[in-house]
């Protein structure tokens, strides 16, 4: 359990660039799509990079915007302006 982190986002157009960015930046991430939700599991560490999301969305992106479509997450959060990182502090 402690070796896996996850993030669950609403499955909508706004979350799409975030999901694509996660997939690009975390090669080990596994995406589980359900009709309303996308749950992404990743062993060890999962990072969301502002730069990648901006490239996917084609606009400036504040990482706090993910909160709007965030359903749940598992892992300790380390967040700054450029990166949102999930991992277990053990």
Partner 1 sequence: MSIDLKTANVEPIRRTFDHLVDKLGPDKNPTRYQEAVWGLQPKVNFHYRPTWDPAYDLYDPGRTAVVMEDFDDLVDPRQYYYGTWTIQRGKQQHSQERNFDFVENRDLLTGFDSALKEKIKALVVPLRHVAWAANTNNCYIAAYGFGAPVTSACSMQSMDQLGIAQYITRIGLVIDDYDPAGLDTAKTAWLSDQKWQPMRALAEESMVTKDWFELFLLQNFLIDGTVHPLVFNRFDREVIGDGGAAFSMLTEFMVDWYAESTRWVDAVLKRAAAESDANKRLLDGWVAAWMPRVQGALHPLADFAFNGQGAEVIDGLVDELMARAGKTGLSV
Residue 18 interacting with partner 1 (CB under 8 A): no
Residue 23 interacting with partner 1 (CB under 8 A): no
| Extended beta strands in 1-90, E state | 4-10, 30-33, 37-43, 45-49, 70-74, 76-79, 83-87
Longest dimension (CA), the chain: 37
Cβ partners under 8 Å of residue 13, min gap 6: none
Residue from 1, 2, 3, 35 touching partner 1 (CB under 8 A): that is 35
Residue 67 interacting with partner 1 (CB under 8 A): no
Q: For residues 10 and 16, which CB has a smaller minimum distance to partner 1 in the complex?
A: 16
Each residue 38-57 as x (binds partner 1 by CB under 8 A) or -, in order, gives -----------------x-x
């Amino acid at each position: 359990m402690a070796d896996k982190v996850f993030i669950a986002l609403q499955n909508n157009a706004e979350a799409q660039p975030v999901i694509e960015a996660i997939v690009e930046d975390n090669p080990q991430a596994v995406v589980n799509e359900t009709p309303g939700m996308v749950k992404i599991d990743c062993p060890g560490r999962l990072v969301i990079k502002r730069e990648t999301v901006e490239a996917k969305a084609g606009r400036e992106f504040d990482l706090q915007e993910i909160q709007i479509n965030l359903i749940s997450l598992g892992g300790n959060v380390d967040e700054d302006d450029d990166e949102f990182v999930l991992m277990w502090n053990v």
